[in-house]
A and B are shown apart, each in its own frame.
Chain A
């Protein structure tokens, strides 16, 4: 019988923080080991946090949208036999302890309830992550708006504004009765409230804090640790937030870092190496395995003549320095147009709700190979974009995919996918559908082939396109219709201008 923390996991070496995107389990609901508890998004990946034990989710501490460092407390689990006050006490103790060990690396421990029994010290600089935790409270007697002509220091005015304090209700100790920050703190305490310097009154949440005056160091420190400068007291010269102000906020934040759960590897035969799966690989593995198991895949292939498209590509590239079109860019455009004409393929399928969503625009996900895996950045509304836009965007997305600087919104979603292995000299291949999409197009190389045209044998540059479709949603005739439409556009690319 114990209370256990649920914390921001560390997925991969470079992960420092994660944003909670949604809870998959509700307060009071029980879960088993392996169940998905919540979804967390990092700069590189969005993934579900799996439970490492059986339990009951008793208290959700963090709401979706909040960004937190690795090891930060997300929720509390405990058997139903543990009462709420024990959980409150545990939370207070945890936050007190966190403040004490701030900056040190503490292993994840399961704190037994007994350890939380001694009443914790009043928490001075605890993070405000939960409504149950002790928070700064301004007594009603002091609340209100400060009159304009009230003599007070700049810092005092700012603090008063932030906390909703009427400074005219506080006696100032400074020159000409000016109210200082210290005066406010004293008055609040005297009235039975609490206000501690450096204590943010809001949950740590990223926002536009660019208007806050801050030193370059403070700004950088704040950015790295996802501290909102608006939560910092400005004590620096010329009213700027300085390093110490950001550090004061940080000191109050839970800094526990879950130690890497170092898996012990079995002894290896000489010459062999083992690699643990990266977060990206694990995501790829899980998603594609599920897709292949759940969706009944079938393929339809079609050869397409590329002569006209290649001629168009060369004409445009030669005529315009600003343009560097690839076959892939043109195929994205043609596919987008074909999808608008055959909208049943421009869709997402939700098997739980038994609903297929058809999209008005073709948001085309394009598989890009990067070191250690692949990622599918999206060209949104490719049907409405010019070739120049698609080409420029694709170059940018592919480069940033490799550099790892894509934003989650740039590779999540999509209504259809394209995978192109043509540059490797592959003639034809089959791709696995990227759920919840219902089909994926696999493109081979543009290669010279001996073909018969009008009864004559001739050499033409051709490409084989293979469409993998989910038979639960897309029937063969529909897949064929799409390919026929794509072929028409590819072989008469002037249609892309219509």
Chain B
């Protein structure tokens, strides 16, 4: 029976393509519909290409510091076009990789725009030719896009979203970034390292407001030391193109207004889910705050309809989408011992310089929940590996339950901490406590030793501080 599947997935981002792979792997007849490129925003315009750009910025930074290690570099120059080329190439390679994986698992891939015409029925517009698809289960994974601000529309000359910021023809002199979450902070760090005068705006009272307050404070100091202008408690009221670029009107908390002009303005003030054109309303899909409402197994209120990833609510992270994809598919396929996503176990990573990585509760969240906590800290200034590498900025902060020793949260700042956070995520997952981590042998010299020391500190027996 053509056009009939066990599972049809709409959207081939890190949620959708993983859902399709897992479904096919479990022997289900699976269709994946994508209107743009396989891999979604993550592979094409998000996680991956930004990391390629940030690597370029890091290399440039290292070259500037080279004389410290006795390396003399003369006539150092930087070509943004070449870096953009590298970034696009990496994305291209990974997109091909996804196509290969889908083929290998036997997923049928349809290039077109899908719309639900009825329960269990999709109509896919493939370049004008309409295809009808029936599926027992439809998984929506259409993701999200950059959110516009009132008074500041995309498409205005000089106003960027992450998409434009990832492929500039030339470097602007100056850049204002509205929003200091992961996206804003990464681009601030990137463009600052590339020599652009960056101004970072944040509506909350501190930058990176979802992170622990100590992280926000530390990163602000770091950014300001690099001549990044940081304004907190400020909102962007209006932005209009002028000869010199974009004029931004800011409203400070105290009611004062301020005008600043920069060559470019990047909007990084959150994302909005792609709910339009899917036929959600017609089917009576229940929504929650603009997102599709789902239960712990990613089921919507409509029979046989599921939503995963950004579409199903935050945090809007690729790894959360992939995890939900597996949970959703395994549950509907009857795999035993599937556990719902535990939101407290989702790590978060920011690839700025220095990097920020965290998992679990912040100290404030833990205290607000009335949990008895012990805090462990360690500063990378006292870590041999960090000093030897010439980058000792950063720290480790661990939030431990005072009574059970459970790791409630961990907050890391420093070089490559995005690779180290998993050790703490694993500890949380396995309910390994502070004593277990303290007993674990950490290799020397490593940056991870800072985590060990932080544990010892929380236990009241630090050795190296």
Residues of A whose CB lies within 8 Å of any CB of B are 216, 317, 321-324, 370-371, 391-392, 395-396, 398-400, 402-406, 423-424
Contact = CB atoms under 8 A, between A and B. Distances in A.
B137 A399 contact: yes
Contacts of B29: 402
B273 interface: no
B303 A391 contact: yes
B136 A398 contact: yes
Contacts of B28: 399, 402-403
Given A398-B136, A399-B333, A405-B334, A324 B304 contact: yes
A321 B27 contact: no
B26 A403 contact: yes
Contacts of A403: 6, 26-28, 333-335
Nearest to B26: A403
Contacts of A323: 303
Given A395-B304, A399-B334, A400-B334, A324 B119 contact: yes
B422 to A, nearest CB: 16
A406 B334 contact: yes
A443 B358 CA distance: 58
Contacts of B371: none
B332 interface: yes
17 contacts: A321-B284, A322-B301, A322-B302, A324-B303, A392-B303, A395-B304, A396-B334, A399-B6, A399-B7, A399-B28, A399-B137, A400-B334, A402-B27, A403-B26, A404-B27, A406-B334, A424-B1
Given A404-B27, A405-B335, A399 B283 contact: no
B261 to A, nearest CB: 50
Nearest to B134: A423
A138 to B, nearest CB: 36
A322 B137 CA distance: 13
B340 to A, nearest CB: 17
Given A317-B119, A396-B334, A424-B1, A371 B303 contact: no
Contact of A402 (B6, B120, B336, B430): B6
Most buried by A among B119, B137, B285: B119
A321 B335 contact: no
A405 to B, nearest CB: 4
Question: Nearest 4 pairs between A and B by C-beta?
Answer: A405-B334, A324-B303, A400-B334, A403-B333
Interface of B: 1, 4, 6-7, 26-29, 118-120, 136-137, 283-286, 301-304, 332-336, 430
Contacts of A424: 1
Given A399-B333, A403-B26, A321 B136 contact: no
Nearest to A391: B303
Nearest to A404: B27
Contact of B333 (A324, A371, A405): A405
A423 B302 contact: no
B120 A324 contact: yes
Given A395-B136, A403-B335, 20 more contacts: A317-B119, A321-B283, A321-B303, A322-B302, A324-B120, A371-B27, A395-B137, A396-B332, A399-B7, A399-B136, A399-B137, A399-B333, A402-B6, A404-B26, A404-B27, A405-B334, A405-B335, A405-B336, A406-B334, A423-B4
Nearest to A400: B334
A398, A402, A406 interface centre (most CB from chain B within 10 Å): A402
B325 to A, nearest CB: 15
Contacts of B285: 321
B197 to A, nearest CB: 51
A265 B169 CA distance: 64
Name the residue in A321, A370, A398, A423 with the highest tally of chain B Cβ atoms < 10 Å from its Cβ.
A321
A322 B286 CA distance: 11
Contact of B332 (A216, A391, A399, A423): A399
Contacts of B303: 321-324, 391-392, 395
Contacts of A423: 1, 4
Nearest to B25: A403
Nearest to B119: A324
Contacts of B4: 423
Given A399-B136, A402-B28, A405-B334, A216 B430 contact: yes
* Residue in B6, B285, B336 with the greatest tally of chain A CB atoms within 10 Å: B6
Contacts of B119: 317, 324
Nearest to A403: B333
A396 B335 CA distance: 12
A404 B302 CA distance: 25
Contacts of A406: 334
A408 to B, nearest CB: 13
A390 to B, nearest CB: 12
Contacts of B118: 317
Contacts of B1: 423-424
Nearest to A219: B337
A404 B332 CA distance: 12
Contacts of A405: 26, 333-336
A402 B301 CA distance: 24
A402 B30 CA distance: 11
A321 B26 contact: no
B97 to A, nearest CB: 26
B160 to A, nearest CB: 39
Nearest to B332: A399
Contacts of A324: 119-120, 302-304
Contacts of A404: 26-27
Nearest to A369: B1
B26 to A, nearest CB: 5
Contacts of A396: 332, 334
Contact of B301 (A216, A321, A400): A321
A400 B335 CA distance: 9
A372 to B, nearest CB: 10
B243 to A, nearest CB: 54
Contacts of B302: 321-322, 324
Contacts of A322: 301-303
A322 B303 CA distance: 5
A405 B25 CA distance: 13
Contacts of A371: 27
A392 B332 CA distance: 11
Greatest chain A CB density within 10 A among B29, B333, B430 is at B333
A218 to B, nearest CB: 12
